Amino acid sequence: MQNIDSVASAALDLVYPRYCEACGGIADIEGRYLCWACLSNISVICTPYCATCGDPVEGAVYSRFVCSACNDNTPAFELARSAARYRGPVKELVHRLKYGSAIHLAATLCDIMVPCFDSNYASLSLDVIVCVPMYSRKERERTYNQAWVIADELSKRTGVPFWGGLLKKVKDTGTQTSYNASQRRKNIRGSFEVSQPDWCEGKRFLLVDDVMTTGSTVNEVAGLLKDNGAVSVHVLTLARG
Ligand SMILES: [Zn+2]
Ligand SMILES: [Zn+2]
């Protein structure tokens, strides 16, 4: 039997049809802002990928491997995993979330992330979910942090508590899109702070962000949490550039 919420949501859909935020067509997945065609076009990340940072590689690799970037500089985090490639419908949805005030996409985006959480991290005894913070002035301009929006929703789905304000970004690092990996590492160094350092001691963290590119940001945050006594930091991002 359908519950009241889903009956109400189906009735609302008749009056106010929801549109797919990736293609603009009718959103035919109940309660979500995505259509089945776009859902099936999402490039879900599956093996082969680096056993540490989760970076996917093309082609056939049959054994466990660690990429050269992780071999050269062991990351501060234990593992990083991303749900989908940053392309097609996922790129559109992230863009809408970031620049189009589409915070109502939280549940739609978490549908993509939850299977990745379940297959990689469900067995960990995580203490808390945190997200990569935004520089305060930038967050005021945008009025929200997109990583916070998805981390908060992920917390509701997984039951792991979320502490959005534990981390702060204290330096405006600008846009890093034109930087290579080592320039990004240098640029991001010292940009984050922990609001309650003593609390981190002995804790197991899940660090959430929307998109991971070179991993320099999540690595910097993971290093800071470890410096403050974190036992482990696992990273989960919606998308991988
Ligand atoms: Zn669509
Ligand atoms: Zn790697």
Residue 25 lies in a domain: yes
Shared-domain flag, residues 161 and 226? yes
For the chain, the domain total comes to 2
Shared-domain flag, residues 236 and 135? yes
Residue-level pLDDT at 186: 85
Residue-level pLDDT at 12: 66
Ligand 1 midpoint to CA 90 (Å): 11
Ligand 2 midpoint to CA 13 (Å): 43
Shared-domain flag, residues 153 and 34? no
Residue-level pLDDT at 8: 73
Residue-level pLDDT at 3: 66
Shared-domain flag, residues 34 and 91? no
Q: How far apart are CA 220 and CA 193, in angstroms?
A: 10
Residues of the chain under the 70 pLDDT cut: 1-4, 9, 12
The per-residue pLDDT for range 115-137, each reduced to its tens digit, is 999 999 999 999 999 999 999 88
- Output the pTM of the full model: 0.91
Ligand 2 midpoint to CA 49 (Å): 8
Residue 187 lies in a domain: yes
Residues with CB under 5 A from ligand 2 (ion): 50, 52-53, 67, 70
How are beta strands 167-169 and 192-194 bridged, if at all?
antiparallel
Q: How far apart are CA 238 and CA 84, in angstroms?
A: 6
Shared-domain flag, residues 128 and 34? no
Residue 183: give the domain boundaries.
76-240
Ligand 1 midpoint to CA 131 (Å): 28
Residue-level pLDDT at 1: 47
The CATH number that applies at residue 224 is 3.40.50.2020
Residue 62 lies in a domain: no
DSSP string, 23-68: TSSB--STTSS--HHHHHT--B--SSB-TTT--B-SS---S----H
Shared-domain flag, residues 29 and 146? no
Residue 215 lies in a domain: yes
